[in-house]
Structure 1
């Protein structure tokens, strides 16, 4: 061991008696400092201007693409080869390697000593990075120190892996420049190898293990896993072992088969360690982030525990002609393993399968127009050829229909979960995220565990809004559109329709919805509705301007009335009948996602709404959920004409200006439970058009989800919210950042430069 330390000490002297080591440290310091201060200054300027940072400042400063580690990781491979290129090649080219061979020093001591020197130098680079981590403790409000120290560990392990690679490359040639170039190539190869041969099951597991790309990703975010740590240790073992046997080969006369066997042993043992360390049941996890941000929420963990030890089979059906083909293509297997890793961490026997097929794509009805004269088989063959795929990999439409009917799922990428004989679908969505989140996955798991899900029933028979149509004013997006993440179906609810005229209202439903009836409800139907309310059933009633006469007789017993007239709101961009009332603190308490967001400024969009009047003196406790802004909204009593002149407030014609409620909640205790009712002065806020309106700050889909969560007593959606980040501000002004720029970019590099220059000059004089 003493010999190893002596060799490391000698190597460090050689390293620091050359300008390259000092130069790289200074460049590394300036790069980290410039990036750190640039991001901090941007946030400080926003704060000085009165702005607020929504999110984690620490993550943004260190982990974003603009952050310190984002820049360092992109350029880190440039540093180490310049240091390692002479570790062995310098000894070989100068002839001193022969003296080492004839000395009593063992080859492994030479290799370990030189690698130890690089470990110490890598530690110095991490300490330079640590200057800014330490600074952030005083310059960022409540930084997530666990995440930052985990990121430092990831940085150090990556530097050590690069050093081992560079050491081996230095053994292969006497030319230092060639060794540096070979190190660049090997690092690039290890970054790329994870994308090779992904369509071969056995090979892709090995190449994915060897890939260094993304290996530090978890640690940078605060999640330390045993397989990632073992990976870096295995890479160090691999290249140090190859280095030892390469040097031994130069001083021993052994048969080629012996030399080859040594290399094979090192490689095979590395791959074996990687294989076993990646088995889900063998992986250990430590979440160093504050609030366990990189771990499933307690609700999700509870549901997984309820699944017990029974296996869970996940079969992905992937259509070659579907728009989400890439999510289930052969080369996406390991990416999908990563997507499922948060769940396999707690349930090891989740088995992933993929079935490839081709069939008509209902998302591309014009497909045949672009391939005129071709059959479906010919189109699929052309697609497969363009992707270098064999048609033998795909099931035909006829073969697929014998397995499963995916027409209701639009023949798109979908996962079928199977557990104890029960099955359910887990879908991907047409949004930026695409993949189902923790809420949707937990809901699917819950479907496998529960015999009955909360059911929302929509009344029909009086020209109410339809849950099966995609018109602007209908409700398919809200209820059962499979491609929409926030539809009730994907959030864990069952939806159905019911006619009051021909059916009785079930007693076991979660809530009943009466949305904009356009004709009067018959006496028999009203009696059924009245009986349901009297028995304590939960209800949502959505009215519209001009329909007051239809709903007010029923609402009178609840203490709520739709007021005469229509609400108008002045806006330079939007039509006056589109109002945007604010969400109240009451509705924010309905749904954790709202409680954790900035609900005080959130709005809903309501086209053609009327105000609600209510009296909180009856059996129900009534609270407003949406309220208008008195500054730009009023209730217009006469006809609204928007195509001729600007709409103005006319009190002489009965117009009223005040803060109106457009949605209210009603509660009372009955039959040993809390009855919950919601009344709104608009039915379009649940419509397809408003749920997909992105030109406003309107959050209709979150508001709707909150309402149905409250009506089902919070059973669904599964709460997957996490604590808000605490590091939401920097404790610096832009002027203070300018002062720090002098310290970090001039003083500290200057000190390093002066110290290095003095050392080199004294060395030269000696």
Structure 2
């Protein structure tokens, strides 16, 4: 060890007595400054921003300084390592090493140790930028950045080992530099080669060095990638030692090939073994554990036991979503499942590629006088598809009916003989792939009978299958909508109360805006359903009190006569925006922040509700109007240019009126749950898309259905809110940073190098 340290010290003195090392440090610092410091004024103006640590240093889509510098780190190594061995061979001093008592392995290790120290200096330069985050971001995420810097250090060290080996292959330093540059550039970009070919994809990806560091940059330290970099470093150091020993002892070619092959086999064996999923250890360094699935999902996977899960992804080659899931995207696709594989390694991933017609496409083909075969040929030429690799419509329809999933990218999960769909989401959804909530819902559906929402269809009620302004397809039954209840774990159905019996095992029956009175037979069915403890949601509309109130008689609730109106400068007086009441928080604790911030629910044309305090149910308001701006308009009115006024003589009433009520009671060893609303529009397609008022309609209705399912669905995959969301930056501090990082620090590095080189020259 003493000899290794001595060699390392000698190599470091030669390194820092060369202008190249100092120039490269200055260039690196300037490059990082031009990326990072330029963004400081904007950060200072913005102030509030979630995940600031990640935003500044590791998020490639944002500033991501450390992630971006990974792409060019390989440029800084060749000029440093070019003479580390070739200098010895070109000057002839290598012969002295061959005849000296020093082992060749000690020489190589010593030179590599000097590079490790130089890499630490590089890390120090990078840390100067991290210092800005430390000083100006409260609750800075230290572990995350420590892992990111460690990843960069591992990458630099592997590059150094490669550079040392290439330097041993030639006596010319410029040739060594160029060759090292070529090798490192090759290993930087090889990960993009052959990604559409199954037998090439894994090989080229395994050779891509920056991609592994990129994973750790996200804050997830794992043994697979750490061991990979150690293996690469060890292999190339072993190559270097072998090269020098073979030159000294002049071994036969076959023996040389055998030794190199043995090194490769040992290295690949270690890398392969350490990359098997059960062998990988993980540490999520981020403060909110964003790289790890939540405890909810972890518990789901734990409950699934040792039985395997089969995930089959179906990809239509002629549909627009194909480019998201084509074979060249397979590595990224697998990475999306890695957080789940971490806790359940026996998730078997499969992909099926096919081509089939797309719903809505037929009419367009007929209009353009194009056959389906012609369209397939046209699309296959555009996408450069080999149709022999795709199942035909007849073949895919033997497995399943992709048109039922709109023929876009979707997944089928299988577990213990049960199946369910996991869908992707088109624009305007920016994420496309299912998030943890949708994946967790699909997994949970495989372990239990999903809760079912049933909508009554009599009396011209609102439909869960229509996309009209006042209907409910967007929230309830849209396969391409992330927040749709069928993608959050629910089954949905509809029945006629006049013709059918109400199922006993449903999560809730929804009666929305009945316009025609039910027959005595239908009312009897509904009353029996309520008596037996069934969950229910009744949403009425003003003017329909005579139809709705008979449904509410046994509940101790009534829709009051008249219509609620609300004074407003910008909106129609008919648009009422009641705020969340304390009962909403009791129903769904997740609504607490919105209750504190006084979020509202938009309700056009709503009626007020009244209820009996001593009725059969415990009743609590969920939504309350503002007593200062709203009142009940008792008489008929027309919303035109004339503003409405309160008229007590006409029977108008002021006050804070409930527009939605929560009813509960204990019955048959379970809590019966009922919702009554004086408006049926608040979860309609139009109101969920409203953008001119900040509303909580979607979250409120989602909470109602979660309440009906007793918390089973939707899945709660929420995380703690990040604490690194503010900065202490001011205009003055930004100016100081610019002076330091544009002038003082690079100037100081330049002066230090100049002083050291001048002193060396004088000696």
Length-normalised TM-score, structure 1: 0.90
The 2-side partners of 1:90 and 1:409 are apart by: 65
- Say whether the 8 Å CA contact 1:209–1:275 is kept in structure 2: no
Deviation (angstroms), 1:761: 1.8
Correspondence for 2:353: 356
- Say whether the 8 Å CA contact 1:322–1:363 is kept in structure 2: no
CA distance 1:382–1:42, shift in 2 (3 Å): closer
Is it true that 1:422 corresponds to 2:411 in the alignment? no
Correspondence for 2:398: 402
CA distance 1:367–1:182, shift in 2 (3 Å): farther
Correspondence for 1:438: 436
Deviates most, 78-87 or 351-360? 78-87
Map 1:666-685; keep pairs closer than 5 Å: 666-685=663-682
The 1-side partners of 2:569 and 2:98 are apart by: 85
Length-normalised TM-score, structure 2: 0.90
Correspondence for 2:445: 447
- Say whether the 8 Å CA contact 2:580–2:595 is kept in structure 1: no
Deviation (angstroms), 1:621: 3.8
Over aligned residues, Cα RMSD in angstroms? 3.1
Map 1:634-653; keep pairs closer than 5 Å: 636-639=633-636, 641-642=638-639, 645=641, 647-651=643-647
Deviation (angstroms), 1:172: 4.2
The 1-side partners of 2:288 and 2:117 are apart by: 33
Unaligned runs of 5+ in 1: none
Deviation (angstroms), 1:505: 2.4
CA distance 1:407–1:373, shift in 2 (3 Å): closer
Correspondence for 2:683: 686
Deviation (angstroms), 1:658: 5.6
Correspondence for 1:326: 323
The 2-side partners of 1:651 and 1:147 are apart by: 63
The 1-side partners of 2:730 and 2:372 are apart by: 67
Is it true that 1:459 corresponds to 2:456 in the alignment? yes
Instruction: Determine which of 298, 301, 304 is the counterpart of 1:301.
Output: 298
Instruction: Determine which of 259, 280, 284 is the counterpart of 1:287.
Output: 284
The 2-side partners of 1:729 and 1:585 are apart by: 31
After superposition, the C-alpha distances for 1:138-173 in whole angstroms (9 at most, x for unaligned) are: 532222222222222112112212222333343444
- Say whether the 8 Å CA contact 1:320–1:380 is kept in structure 2: no
Correspondence for 1:311: 308
The 2-side partners of 1:148 and 1:697 are apart by: 36
Correspondence for 2:274: 277
Is it true that 1:559 corresponds to 2:557 in the alignment? yes
Instruction: Determine which of 682, 694, 698 is the counterpart of 1:701.
Output: 698
Report the 3-state secondary structure (helix = DSSP H, G, I; strand = E; otherwise coil) of the residue aligned with 1:715: coil
Correspondence for 1:665: 662
Map 1:208-223; keep pairs closer than 5 Å: 208-223=205-220
Deviates most, 598-607 or 160-169? 598-607
Deviation (angstroms), 1:480: 2.3
The 1-side partners of 2:247 and 2:595 are apart by: 68
Deviates most, 507-516 or 241-250? 241-250
Deviates most, 520-529 or 670-679? 670-679
The 1-side partners of 2:467 and 2:188 are apart by: 46
After superposition, the C-alpha distances for 1:15-64 in whole angstroms (9 at most, x for unaligned) are: 111233233334445555676666565444444xxxx44x2222223223
The 1-side partners of 2:91 and 2:437 are apart by: 64
Correspondence for 1:62: 57
Is it true that 1:185 corresponds to 2:182 in the alignment? yes
The 2-side partners of 1:717 and 1:744 are apart by: 49
Map 1:130-169; keep pairs closer than 5 Å: 130-133=127-130, 136-169=133-166
The 1-side partners of 2:563 and 2:664 are apart by: 27
CA distance 1:762–1:148, shift in 2 (3 Å): same
Is it true that 1:626 corresponds to 2:658 in the alignment? no
Correspondence for 2:21: 21
Report the 3-state secondary structure (helix = DSSP H, G, I; strand = E; otherwise coil) of the residue aligned with 2:506: coil
The 2-side partners of 1:6 and 1:279 are apart by: 40
CA distance 1:524–1:332, shift in 2 (3 Å): same
Report the 3-state secondary structure (helix = DSSP H, G, I; strand = E; otherwise coil) of the residue aligned with 1:290: coil
- Say whether the 8 Å CA contact 2:563–2:605 is kept in structure 1: no
Q: How many residues align?
A: 757
The 2-side partners of 1:597 and 1:262 are apart by: 67
Unaligned runs of 5+ in 2: none
The 2-side partners of 1:81 and 1:190 are apart by: 14
